[in-house]
């Protein structure tokens, strides 16, 4: 079955970097767009960004543009979220979620369990 498993979360100091991973299985990874969505403690969902099937096209939320980069390794069925210059407001649970077969499609019903990121000195 379709599985998405995030990893790499943890505690990081403000201004430092962290890289999250999302390992996919149970579907043809190269056919699907993948999204990152986050949720700060006690708050709602925030869309973070998306990457196309070939990794060439990315879009980002204004709040992370220029600091976060999404990439993917299709040979490893793995998605990455490189987070630089982290701020307190980036603290959240980060989810990867499967999009559709084209970049314009919605976020489907396949999500990981989330990985928590804490930004604190």
Partner 1 sequence: IRMTQSPSSLSASVGDRVTITCRASQAIGNELGWYQQKPGKAPKLLIYATSSLSSGVPSRFSGSGSGTDFTLTISSLQPEDFATYYCLQDYNYPYTFGQGTKVEIK
Residue 119: CB atoms within 10 Å: 19
Measured between alpha carbons, how far is 77 from 64 in angstroms, rounded to an integer?
24
CB of 32 to partner 1, least distance (A): 15
Residue whose CB is less far from partner 1, 109 or 121: 109
Residue whose CB is less far from partner 1, 14 or 67: 67
**For binding to partner 1 (CB under 8 A), which residues are involved?**
35, 37, 44-47, 49-50, 59-62, 95, 97, 104-109, 111-114
CB of 43 to partner 1, least distance (A): 8
């Amino acid at each position: 079955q379709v599985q998405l498993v995030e990893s790499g979360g943890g505690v990081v100091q403000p201004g430092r970097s962290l890289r999250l991973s999302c390992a996919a299985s149970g579907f043809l990874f190269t056919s699907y767009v993948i999204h990152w969505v986050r949720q700060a403690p006690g708050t709602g969902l925030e869309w973070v960004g998306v990457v196309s099937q070939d990794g060439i096209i990315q879009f980002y939320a204004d709040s992370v543009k220029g600091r976060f980069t999404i990439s993917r390794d299709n040979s490893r069925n793995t998605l990455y979220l490189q987070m630089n210059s982290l701020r307190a407001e980036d603290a959240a649970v980060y989810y990867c979620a499967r999009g559709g077969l084209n970049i314009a499609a919605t976020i489907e019903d396949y999500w990981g369990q989330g990985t928590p990121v804490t930004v604190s000195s």
